Amino acid sequence: MNSTDNPSSDIGELPQGRPLQTEFTDGLDYPRLGTVSFRRGTLTDNQQAMWDEKFPHMGKVLADEVIDVDEWFGRSGHPTIVEIGSGTGTSTAAMAPLEADTNVIAVELYKPGLAKLMGAVVRGGIDNVRMVRGDGIEVLARMIAPNSLDGVRVFFPDPWPKARHNKRRIIQSGPLRLIATRLKPGGVLHVATDHADYAEWIDELVEVEPLLEYKGWPWAEAPLLTDRQVITKFEGKGLDKDHVIREYLWRRTEAPNP
């Protein structure tokens, strides 16, 4: 039996209507959600039962609420990483046990993807992962305090390959500024893509944000884990097609926020 046979739970559901969308006034380029529709997907009964039980502790829905990381993770003084677009959580669940001292916040819109991550985390007894359901830009803008993160990860973001859709890409001047302001000085931004055109796009932007010092790849002295250890679902598809994986690392500079 599928969960669609039962009344759906409101736990972890996005509110109806137009999603929260910040109006940035810094003159930089930001992706806009516009009329893009997101896959809803359904959960199995077992997934739904786990979701209803675990999400109130492990998850949050996008809101105008700055996250108290210490309270949420039940510990203080630990480094914190936000992963934008965690997908089904393959790399998230694989990397988290290797950095148990780090708080990992996975951000994703697609509920079944978060449910799969939740299942992996619960089965693996992994206690340093939390999740936010919502658009990554809005989560950073509304829920993450400035100068609070040790790292941001953007692994295999949607390449929006059609030229008319390029402006929906998350790697643009605006998100790079936003990410930089959320990182602590010395914090690391790690981006990976297997889409050649997107890599060319990123190549043009590596020096665009003055608060981010481009370190290239690899960077042996990176202060956080940059070896993704396992391939993600989308990376595996890319390798099957003989795509080249491009990785990028930036370090947040010591300069004050503008």
Question: Per the annotation, does 232 bind a ligand?
Answer: yes
pLDDT beyond 90 at 227: no
Q: What is the CA radius of gyration of the chain?
A: 18
Higher-pLDDT residue of 201, 243: 201
The pLDDT value recorded for residue 236 is 54
pLDDT beyond 80 at 11: yes
The pLDDT value recorded for residue 231 is 53
Domain span holding position 215: 38-252
What total of structural domains would you count in the chain?
A: 1
pLDDT digits (tens, 9 = 90+) for 165-182: 888 899 999 999 999 999
The percent of the chain in helix, strand and coil, each rounded to the nearest 5, is: 35, 20, 50
pLDDT digits (tens, 9 = 90+) for 77-86: 999 999 999 9
Q: Does 116 fall in a domain? A: yes
Q: Does 21 fall in a domain? A: no
Mean predicted confidence (pLDDT) in 186-207: 96
Question: Per the annotation, does 162 bind a ligand?
Answer: yes
Contact at 8 Å (CB) between 133 and 61?
A: yes
Higher-pLDDT residue of 229, 50: 50
Confidence of residue 202 (pLDDT cuts 50, 70, 90): very high
- Here the tokens at position 86 are 């965690």
**Out of 70, 158, 197, 240, which one is annotated catalytic?**
158
Q: Does 200 fall in a domain? A: yes
Mean predicted confidence (pLDDT) in 123-146: 97
Confidence of residue 164 (pLDDT cuts 50, 70, 90): confident
SS3 of 138-188: HHHHHHCCCCCEEEEEEECCCCCCCHHHHHHCCCCHHHHHHHHHHEEEEEE
Catalytic, 158? Answer yes
Q: Does 16 fall in a domain? A: no
Which range is least confidently modeled, 39-48, 154-163, 213-222? 39-48
The pLDDT value recorded for residue 257 is 47
The pLDDT value recorded for residue 10 is 85
Question: Per the annotation, does 234 bind a ligand?
Answer: yes
Q: Does 184 fall in a domain? A: yes
Question: Per the annotation, does 24 bind a ligand?
Answer: no
Question: Per the annotation, does 135 bind a ligand?
Answer: yes
Read off the CATH number of the domain in which 105 is found: 3.40.50.150
Q: Does 30 fall in a domain? A: no
Q: Does 156 fall in a domain? A: yes
Question: Per the annotation, does 233 bind a ligand?
Answer: yes
